[in-house]
């Protein structure tokens, strides 16, 4: 096992992704509410090979792409991890209040909010390929393999089907402060108000089982939907969904 230290003394909202090839790693975190850093290692036993710091940076689930909305200029820049210049620049209204952006795996699509709509544009040309009326939403993310797009609304977690013109296939009711993730299959996991993780079947839009986990400050699910990782300030726990209770 290799251990390594992040080049910071304060970490919030940590996201990790392995390189598609080799043993490299990409890490994204916030050291304050206004500063985000994304770092890439080709070799964890050496210093980082690439680093990008700014406000409003968002890392794609495959760890390959970074999106950044520059409100002063009115553009979203998409940069491939490891490169010094953006691979695509898409114009966006400077007055946009919702700053969330998300890039699909392989860098083929970009999503943002133009409330009450969720807008998806193709990359690198920026052509609009979907505009779905959904209402307020934040924390836009594509699933690890790119099958779904998700967002968190007011007490709801939405799942969009990319193969069906981004139709919303699931609206999962949630507490006000929640964590939610989705696999590339038909499984979603959502924290509830009573310190449990609820397992959802997207095909029926129903909760099937739950995991008793206690306090949760971070949540992840494997792409195959078989295991759930939960974390708090004290510990990380990994559970198998098949061991959960109905």
At 167, give phi and psi (nearest 5°): -65, 140
Q: pLDDT (tens digit, 9 = 90+) per residue, 8-61?
A: 666 667 777 777 666 678 888 877 666 888 989 887 778 888 999 888 899 988
Q: What's the rounded mean pLDDT across residues 115-122? A: 96
Its pTM stands at 0.83
| pLDDT one-digit tens code per residue, 126-156 | 999 999 999 999 999 999 889 999 999 999 9
The Cα 223–Cα 145 span in angstroms is 7
pLDDT of residue 14: 72
- pLDDT confidence of 111, banded at 50, 70, 90? very high
Q: Are 45 and 64 in contact (CB under 8 A)?
A: no
| Positive/negative CA dihedral, 56, 228, 180, 222 | positive
Closest CA to 188 of 230, 232, 216, 158: 158
pLDDT at site 5: 63
Q: How confident is the model at residue 65 (pLDDT cuts 50, 70, 90)?
A: very high
What's the pLDDT at 112? 97
pLDDT at residue number 91 = 96
pLDDT at 195: 72
Which string of b and e fits 192-226 if b means at least 16 CB within 10 Å?
Answer: eeeebbbbbbbeeeebebbbebeebeebbbbeebe
CB 214 within 8 A of CB 195: yes
State how far the Cα of 229 lies from the Cα of 234, in Å rounded to an integer: 14
Phi, psi of 102 (to 5 degrees): -150, 140
Q: Please tell me the predicted confidence (pLDDT) of residue 174.
A: 86
In this prediction, residue 135 carries a pLDDT of 94
Flag whether pLDDT at 1 surpasses 50: no
> In which band, very low, low, confident or very high, does the pLDDT at 179 lie, cut at 50, 70 and 90?
confident
pLDDT band at residue 62 using 50, 70 and 90 as cut-offs = confident
């Amino acid at each position: 096992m290799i251990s390594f230290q992040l080049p910071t003394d304060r970490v919030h909202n940590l996201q990790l992704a392995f390189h598609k090839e080799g043993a490299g790693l990409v890490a994204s975190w916030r050291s304050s509410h206004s500063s985000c850093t994304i770092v890439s290692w080709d070799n964890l036993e050496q210093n980082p090979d690439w680093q990008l710091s700014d406000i409003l940076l968002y890392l794609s689930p495959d760890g390959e792409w970074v999106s950044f909305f520059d409100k002063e200029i009115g553009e979203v820049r998409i940069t491939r991890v490891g490169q010094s210049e953006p691979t695509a620049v898409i114009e966006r209204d400077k007055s946009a209040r919702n700053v969330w952006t998300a890039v699909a795996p392989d860098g083929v699509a970009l999503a943002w909010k133009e409330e009450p709509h969720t807008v998806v544009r193709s990359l690198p040309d920026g052509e609009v390929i979907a505009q779905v009326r959904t209402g307020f939403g934040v924390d836009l993310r594509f699933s690890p393999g790119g099958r779904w797009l998700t967002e968190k609304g007011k007490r709801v977690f939405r799942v969009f089907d990319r193969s069906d013109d981004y139709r919303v296939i699931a609206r999962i009711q949630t507490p006000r402060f929640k964590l939610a993730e989705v696999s590339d299959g038909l499984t979603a996991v959502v924290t509830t108000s009573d310190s449990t993780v609820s397992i959802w079947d997207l095909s029926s839009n129903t909760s099937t089982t739950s995991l008793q986990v206690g306090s949760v400050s971070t949540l992840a699910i494997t792409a195959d939907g078989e295991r759930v990782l939960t974390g708090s300030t004290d510990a990380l726990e990994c559970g198998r969904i098949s061991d959960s209770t109905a």
